[in-house]
Amino acid sequence: MRRTWLIFSQAVTVAVALWFVVATLKPDWIRRDTVSGLPAAVSILQAPALPASSASAGGLTSYAAAAKRATPAVVSITASKTPQRNPQADDPWFRFFFGDQPQRQQQQPQVGLGSGVIVSPDGYLLTNNHVIDGADDIEVQLSDGRQSRAKVVGTDPETDVAVLKISLDKLPVIAFGSVESAQVGDVVLAIGNPFGVGQTVTSGIVSALGRNQLGINTFENFIQTDAAINPGNSGGALVDAHGNLLGINTAIYSRSGGSMGIGFAIPANTAQLVMEGLIRDGQVTRGWIGVEPRDLTPEIAETFNLPVREGVLITGVLQNGPAAAGGMRPGDVVVKVAGTPVANTVQLLAAVAALKPQATATLSVQRGDRTIELKVVVAQRPRSGPPRER
């Protein structure tokens, strides 16, 4: 019995060794064929493809339709700024020391490249304010090759939105999407003119919503995406998987100047509200109360022995401003604006900006251990931005 078991174990060992050698040197000899009804071997480096029916049922396999729908409405913008002439060029003493400056040494016009989105058949375009800021001449090129000079309808530096207008017929127009329905993980496409190479489409997902306190704009409520956004994409379109406009690409996080998978877009509904105000009134009307706010931290709340843990600490009140006239003092903590709770400076800024100038708003304030209601007559926010309220 022992001799039989020894022979069996040796035979098994030799067989395994032979199989290993053949599998290493001649794997095709032992691959099972699908013709015989047995499944063929699958490489661990390549997953099996889904059947066509599963791919179509599980989701889109191509975003060509979305890109085809959106790209005609995305334009390239060339903004030129004529350099200012040296005011001392005609000064005799300047010419004595530095001589006459040849024409060829005069500074060339500064040219900036960006993108824009046609949102109206009347020729209105949305782009970023920083794309056209200070430009003397703005040239717009459509994807079909047509070109036109653009007129600046209005700008809003606090949201970095600008509205342009061109005069061309049969303009392609993009449709606004539902920003409220957007979710983290949704597929998005970024369309623009990166580095001036021409119209480009990149894909990614919505990485986050409501990004703020980035120090980019005064009013921040960005859509964050990992779709590649590079210099020149500014003012271009961020669209959903159906080609509808979700945002205006405006900034990237980068240490090298190129995309690192963190880009930010102004929500389309925000850009639309700004556009309507600029077209109707030539400016965006926002409320203002004249305070210097700061986020209320647990440490500050404990130091001042406050019974609240959420709100906005007022560290400064503009003399003779709306808040001062309403009785607000430094050290007050604003917890509600017109019935809307505010937990940080961003929410306070947005809530106050939404108020109509000359309207009376009720602000709920925590002052020490007392909760008081202040009546404040809202003023119109200065266009350039007040000195003590962001």
Task: Provide DSSP, 271-291.
Answer: HHHHHHHHHHHSS---EE--E
Q: What is the pTM of this model?
A: 0.70
Q: Which two tokens stand for residue 248?
A: 């205006």
Contacts 24+ apart (CB under 8 A), 379-385: 379/287, 379/288, 379/289, 379/290, 379/321, 379/322, 380/285, 380/286, 380/287, 380/288, 381/285, 381/286, 381/287, 381/288, 381/353, 381/357, 382/288, 383/283, 385/158, 385/218
| Per-residue pLDDT tens over the stretch 293-349 | 998 888 888 888 888 888 999 999 999 899 999 999 999 999 999 988 998 888 898
| Per-residue pLDDT tens over the stretch 343-360 | 888 889 889 998 999 999
Residue ranges in the chain modelled with pLDDT below 50: 32-58, 96, 104-105, 385-390
In 10 A of CB 319, how many CB atoms? 8
Which is the catalytic residue, given 76, 115, 148, 160?
160
Give the span between the Cα atoms of 203 and 180, in whole angstroms: 20
Q: Which residue has the tokens 């990237």?
A: 252
- pLDDT (0 to 100) of residue 378: 93
Closest CA to 283 of 161, 183, 373: 161
Q: What residues have CB less than 8 Å from 317, skipping those under 6 apart?
A: 290, 291, 292, 323, 324, 328, 329, 330
- pLDDT (0 to 100) of residue 261: 77
- pLDDT (0 to 100) of residue 377: 93
Give the span between the Cα atoms of 171 and 120, in whole angstroms: 8
Which is the catalytic residue, given 115, 207, 234, 259?
234
What is the topology classification, in CATH, of domain 287-380? Pdz3 Domain (2.30.42)
Three-state SS at 35: helix
Residues forming CATH 2.40.10.10 domain(s) in the chain: 179-281
The backbone torsions φ and ψ at residue 363, rounded to the nearest 5 degrees and listed phi first, read -110, 125
- pLDDT (0 to 100) of residue 40: 39
- pLDDT (0 to 100) of residue 38: 35
Whether 160 is catalytic is yes
What is the topology classification, in CATH, of domain 179-281? Thrombin, subunit H (2.40.10)
Give the span between the Cα atoms of 140 and 164, in whole angstroms: 10
- pLDDT (0 to 100) of residue 206: 94
- pLDDT (0 to 100) of residue 257: 66
Whether 130 is catalytic is yes
Residues forming CATH 2.30.42.10 domain(s) in the chain: 287-380
Which is the catalytic residue, given 76, 130, 148, 156?
130
Q: Which two tokens stand for residue 17?
A: 């060794």
Whether 295 is catalytic is no
| Per-residue pLDDT tens over the stretch 52-98 | 333 343 455 789 999 999 999 999 999 988 766 555 555 565 554 55
Give the span between the Cα atoms of 209 and 221, in whole angstroms: 8
